[in-house]
A = this chain, B = another copy of it.
Amino acid sequence: MTMAVNLSPLTTFYPVNGIKIGTVCAQIKQTQHDDLTLFVIAENSTCAAVFTRNAFCAAPVIIARQHLFASAPRALLINSGNANAGTGQQGLQNARTCCDTVAKLLNCASTQVLPFSTGVIGQSLPVDKICGVVATALATANTENWENAAQAIMTTDTIPKAVSIQKIIADELITITGIAKGSGMIKPDMATMLSFIATDVQISQSLLQICLERAVNVSFNRITVDSDTSTNDACVLVATGKSGLHIDSVDHPAFADFCQAVTQVCTQLAQAIIRDGEGATKFITITVEQGSSEQECIDVAYTIAHSPLVKTAFFASDANWGRILAAVGRAPVDNLVIEAIKINLDDVCIVEQGGVAASYTEEQGRRIMQQNEITIRVNLGRGTQHATVWTCDFSYDYVKINAEYRT
């Protein structure tokens, strides 16, 4: 089995004042690892979230959206091993039952609990197993438990994914800590598989939502492993207000800095998902620049990022630039002028004026392809817009992992 590309487990987690986390083994998976995580959120916190746009979204996504609309969350309940997706009315009822159980223990409304599930699609959620251990999760909850939570939400991930930063903004020390899971079925459309981020900044729900959407748009929404958008994607950002920083409007001088810090955390988490993409051996950055619109840059980048031929060539460390060129040529973009297009692998120009660059040598290509982090830069030569997408290669292990996932 391949290992994640240049990604190690995080060693320093800064707790977020106002967030306690409990993890427990509910035996949803056939292992003794923890698979149930409970976030307990202090009163007066705010919470923003984005969810998958897959029309077949999972029961917990439907319920979490409803609950978030109704009230400020006091808890997040996350299970791995079972997606509770494609489970119809019974799936919705099962998600609600779990929320009810947590609400009783916390003495809050059931709508103040948001449910999240990840794992196999289409199997009935084991409600009894989950409800039977929720009290234990709550009893053991503490502020230091982020590392265990990053472990407990994993499915085919080979490594836990977390980012934790402290920053001084407007003279106040603030903390942002987040975790994410996801390795396959990754082409988020609004958010990735599952990500939970918390900060101690004091900020209203509406401002927090603006901040999260901005950050997700250039991080989780810019990655792809296999073009498959999950039914369960969700990204949640909680602000506990326990630090000295209080942001009360988009015009507050600290708002831009805070958005940037959240974007930094989201981008690192999103990249961690790609580094741990199923079967990944290479981390590939695709930047399309000088486009006439940001959307056309995104479209060209994703066409390259989704091409099985480009991805298998990277797996083989083969500088098969013809496949990149063919992918650019079929991108859903009007009137590309191929003579104006330049394509670089890192610092080496491989394509210009409609063909292989005059200066290019196979030796240069080999040198670049031997690295495990590579940037493809496509210059469309007709505008000022740009966009970046991150992806990984396509290996035997991707097929192996996904051919064997249910068996």
CB distance from A203 to the nearest CB of B (A): 32
A326 interface contact, C-beta 8 A: yes
For A330, list chain B residues within 8 Å (CB): 53-55, 187, 189, 228-229
For A325, list chain B residues within 8 Å (CB): 56, 85-86, 121-122, 231
In contact, A329 and B55 (Cβ under 8 angstroms): yes
Contact of A56 among B230, B309, B338 (CB under 8 A): B338
For chain A, the count of residues having a C-beta within 8 Å of the partner chain is: 65
- In the complex, A166 Cα to B309 Cα: how many Å? 38
- In the complex, A228 Cα to B310 Cα: how many Å? 9
A185 interface contact, C-beta 8 A: yes
In contact, B329 and A399 (Cβ under 8 angstroms): no
For A321, list chain B residues within 8 Å (CB): 86, 122
A175 interface contact, C-beta 8 A: no
Contact of A322 among B122, B323, B396 (CB under 8 A): B122
A96 interface contact, C-beta 8 A: no
For A315, list chain B residues within 8 Å (CB): 399, 403
Q: How many copies does the complex hold?
A: 2
A318 interface contact, C-beta 8 A: yes
For A56, list chain B residues within 8 Å (CB): 325-326, 328-329, 338, 354
Contact of A230 among B121, B228, B326 (CB under 8 A): B326
In contact, A308 and B227 (Cβ under 8 angstroms): yes
CB distance from A249 to the nearest CB of B (A): 35
**A286-318 interface code vs B (CB 8 A; 1 in, 0 out):** 000000000000000000001111001101101
A11 interface contact, C-beta 8 A: no
In contact, A88 and B400 (Cβ under 8 angstroms): no
For A355, list chain B residues within 8 Å (CB): 86-91, 122
In contact, A403 and B316 (Cβ under 8 angstroms): yes
27 A-B pairs whose Cβ atoms sit less than 8 Å apart in the complex: A55-B330, A55-B338, A83-B322, A85-B326, A86-B322, A86-B355, A88-B356, A90-B355, A121-B320, A121-B323, A121-B326, A122-B321, A122-B356, A189-B330, A228-B323, A228-B326, A228-B327, A229-B326, A229-B330, A230-B326, A231-B329, A312-B398, A312-B399, A312-B402, A313-B402, A316-B403, A320-B406
Interface residues of A (CB under 8 A from B): 53-57, 83, 85-91, 120-122, 184-185, 187, 189, 226-231, 306-309, 312-313, 315-316, 318, 320-323, 325-331, 336, 338, 351, 353-356, 394-396, 398-400, 402-407
